[in-house]
Every structure is written in structure tokens, then in C-alpha cells.
Structure 1
Amino acid sequence: MNRDALGHYLAELLAIDRCQDYCPNGLQVEGRQSIQHIVSGVTACQALLDKAIELEADAVLVHHGYFWKGEPPVVTGMKKRRLQTLLQHELNLFAYHLPLDIHSRLGNNAQLAQLMDWPQPEVLTAIEPQGVVMTATLIEPVAADHLALQLEQRLGRQLFCAVHEQQPVTKIAWCTGGGQGFIDAAAAAGCDAFITGEVSEQTIHSAREQHIAFYAAGHHATERYGVQALGEHLAERFGIQHTFVDIDSPA
């Protein structure tokens, strides 16, 4: 697979120009031109890069890449080591942030819904970009503590935080990653529960005072699935090898 052709395909598939983001989406570091093996992971940390080299990959595909707005522009320390690793080994780095969160089929929100068997996800249209917060109405109401147990079982980890009473949950909203700030929008939309990755101090009070169940299931844990689905899609479409590597993070 040609590197530039892959970049063009991903740009169209994920519609990377349809929303403003906090980082560049697409090819962030240029490596070799021919790509036969892609290693995917949530974050382009050093451990993922080292594993990609060990697996003799040609490209690394991630949700969290580099060059975030506001980060220091100098190439020193950790940033220098990461970039040096990529350049020395001619590894391509492709990164997709918000476009991967909101894709209707391969995105993190869509994949979490599929993992949890939430029916007919819909976009919460009050929030931009469209698709960053999703909602669904459960076929059968579920107890709030049982929903917590379902999340732990499907994600394979304990919840980072849970705030709920024993009220039944019928309508849920979710945003993978660091979406705790959207809890008020979920409450305003009449949702009984809101699921995201992280929690802030004020989130707890919003949940309690608006009587909406809240679950922080982990930023990393809720965003493992979009990049896997994207890598598998590329492997199936272009006949290239794909390996997902889960460098775990408790956050």
C-alpha cells in the first residue's frame, strides 16, 4: 500500500476537514513509502513505537498522536526520543483524534455502543462537532448499579468513578475519552445516565443535583475500539497486515 494513497483514503473516510481539532489529523511523521504492516494503538507512546519496531511494522496508527495545541514547540526529552525512533526506523505515524471519535461506524463512540449492545445510537445534536456525544434508549430499563457492572464486564476493568442512586436507567448518553464536561447537556436532553472516560470535581455535583447516573470508565479503556476497528477495516480493504497493541493505561 502506498503511503500517500493510504493518507488520502483515510482523509476521505474520516472526513478530517469537517471539524476543528486540537492537533493535526493524518500523517504526522513521514516514514517509508510502502506500507504492508500497520500497528495500531490508542496513544503514540514510546512503548507502542518500540513494539511496532519489534513487529517490523511500516506504520503506526493512533488516536492520540503529537503536536497538540499549546504544547512546547521544542524537540527535547521525551518528544525528541519519540521522533528520533520514528525517523531512524522510517516509521510512518498516522493520527486521528476527533474524526475518529465521531465516525458513524468506525468511531470510538460507535464502537463503544457496539461493544455494549446499545440500540440505535443517535447524535446529540446540541453538541458540536456532531457525533461527539451520542444517545440511545434501552429496550429494557436497567438498574443503575447493573449498568455499572455491565460496563466493567465489557471493558474488562473497574470503573474509575460511579455516581448513582437506584433509579432505573432507560435513556443514556456517552462520550468516550475526556467528555465529562458534557454531563449537563446529557441531563438537559433527559438522559438517565452519562458515560465517559474521565471525571472532574464538578462532575460529581452535576450528577447528584441533576439526578443523572454518571460513570467514568477510563479514557484509555473507552477509546481502545475505534482505532482497532479502523485498522481492521484497512486490513480487509487493502490486504495489508494489522496488529493492535494495547499499551494499558489506568487513566
Structure 2
Amino acid sequence: MIARDRLVKMCDELLYPDRFKDYTVNGLQVAGRSRIGRIMTGVTACQALLDEAVCWKADLVLVHHGYFWKNEPVTITGMKRRRLATLLGNDINLLAYHLPLDAHQVLGNNARLAAELDFEVQGCADGELGTGLLWLGAPSKAMDSVALGAHLTQRLDREPTMVLGHERQIERVAWCTGGAQDMIELAFEAGADAFISGEISERTTHLAREMGISYFAAGHHATERYGIKALGEWLAREQDIEHRFVDIDNPA
């Protein structure tokens, strides 16, 4: 067992949430019991994950996508009420880290995606939201855009939406997990032949074609499964507490 406040402090000191201009609250979002022996991790604090946490008797739910996003309604009704009632009624803590978890150089979503795809990491390009969000590197073996798409399908178990901007070999690739499609211009300016993120917008297609950079929307959920799992595993090792990762299926 570990004191909840100590566990939260460990995560804050690891991820440095104050360094990011985020859209949500990073850290403890809902307070539950003060002692933690079981942590459940998942990408999003949806009702299905909370129900699993109740069944498993988790003390804390740790996620990448929590609650209290900017510009969302402040009223506690409907779906939000049901979710909060589940947490409060079962005395379960909710701990969430968004951009800080994307950026961490070892446990973060971008770092773990690079490991999953066997990319050679060469650096990061900074943006207005914080450092470490757009990563740069190279595939471990020669491939063109079509081969890179097949590689993503095989490694992430999800076929990406592809916009093929050219036919040359991919020598430099940029990536940012989740909904970072609008970083495509920054990726192009950094010299990337391909850019990987989770989602695609209508405008992304035209930008990729006209700039001559291949774009891959590999899935918001699919690209962000790895960081939160790694963070939960790290906490379990550091404090000898139980950890369980639950992957709630999401095609987006």
C-alpha cells in the first residue's frame, strides 16, 4: 500500500505537468480513499473502465483522458454524473495525465509508440503547447509510404488511414500520438517524409498532398495505449502494488 498523496506526488515529479499548456487538469481529478494498493490503468476514464475498476476493487484509476476539459459544460448531469457517481460511490480515485504523458521521454505515448514501431529516435521539435510532443526519427529499415502503412497495421493491429504524399523512400518520420493532425506543417518544416498521428481532418489530406508529405492516421486510441500502461507498470515496480491495464476497444 502507498498513500495516495505520495503516489500523486511521484507522478507529478515524473511528468512535470506545469511545463505544458494543456486543455485539462493534470493530476488528481477525483479524490477517493487515501491508501492505494490496486491501480487500474486505461486510455480513457469511460464508464466501461470504471465498471471494471469497481469489479476489480481498484483503489485508483489512472488514465490519459480524464475529465474537466476546457469549454465543456460545467453541469454534473447525464453521463458525467454517472461516471462521477461511480467513482465517489466506490471511493475510487481518478488520476489523469494528458500532454505530460505524451511527452515523457521513457514512459510517454510518443516514446512507447517509437519502441512499438521500432523507430530510431533522433529528437523532438518544440511547439506552443510544450516540449516533447512532436518526435522525429527514422524507420529501422528502408521502406516507402505503402510499406510504412503496412508496418503500422501489423504493429498496432489497426489499418491506418493513409494519405500518400509522394513515392520516395521514408528517410525521416515524425509522430505525435492522439489528435495531433494539425502538427503536420511542423513535421514538414522539420524535414519529415512522413507524419504519424491518431486522427485525420478534412484539411489534413490537402496539406499532405500539397506539401508532399505522407500522412498516417493510425488511431487516437491505438497510438495512446502504451504510455498509460507503461506508467502503471512503473508505479507497480516502484511501490510493489498491484496494477492491471484494461484496453477498452475503441475504433477511433
Q: Cα RMSD over matched residues?
A: 1.1
- Alpha-carbon contact 1:140-1:170 (below 8 Å) kept: no
3-state secondary structure, aligned to 2:35: coil
Match of 1:212 in 2: 213
Number of aligned residue pairs: give it.
Answer: 250
Distance in 2, matches of 1:231 and 1:185, equals 31
Change (3 A) 1:150 1:127: farther
Match of 1:158 in 2: 159
Change (3 A) 1:126 1:34: closer
3-state secondary structure, aligned to 1:52: helix
Deviations 1:26-78 (A, max 9, x none): 11000011110100000000000000111111100000000011011110000
Confirm whether residue 60 of structure 1 aligns to residue 86 of structure 2.
no
3-state secondary structure, aligned to 2:94: strand
Gap runs ≥5 in structure 1: none
Of the structure 1 ranges 15-24 and 95-104, higher mean CA displacement relative to structure 2 is found in 15-24
- Alpha-carbon contact 2:32-2:87 (below 8 Å) kept: yes
Match of 1:198 in 2: 199
Match of 1:167 in 2: 168
Match of 2:223 in 1: 222
Distance in 2, matches of 1:74 and 1:59, equals 24
Deviations 1:172-206 (A, max 9, x none): 00010000001011111111000000001110011
Distance in 1, matches of 2:92 and 2:210, equals 49
Distance in 1, matches of 2:27 and 2:128, equals 24
Deviations 1:91-142 (A, max 9, x none): 0000000100101111100110011110134111355411110000335431
3-state secondary structure, aligned to 1:243: strand
- Alpha-carbon contact 2:41-2:228 (below 8 Å) kept: yes
Match of 2:94 in 1: 93
Distance in 1, matches of 2:108 and 2:223, equals 11
Distance in 2, matches of 1:77 and 1:221, equals 27
Distance in 2, matches of 1:139 and 1:86, equals 44
TM-score for the superposition, normalised by structure 2: 0.97
Confirm whether residue 4 of structure 1 aligns to residue 5 of structure 2.
yes
Distance in 2, matches of 1:121 and 1:77, equals 46
- Alpha-carbon contact 1:110-1:121 (below 8 Å) kept: no
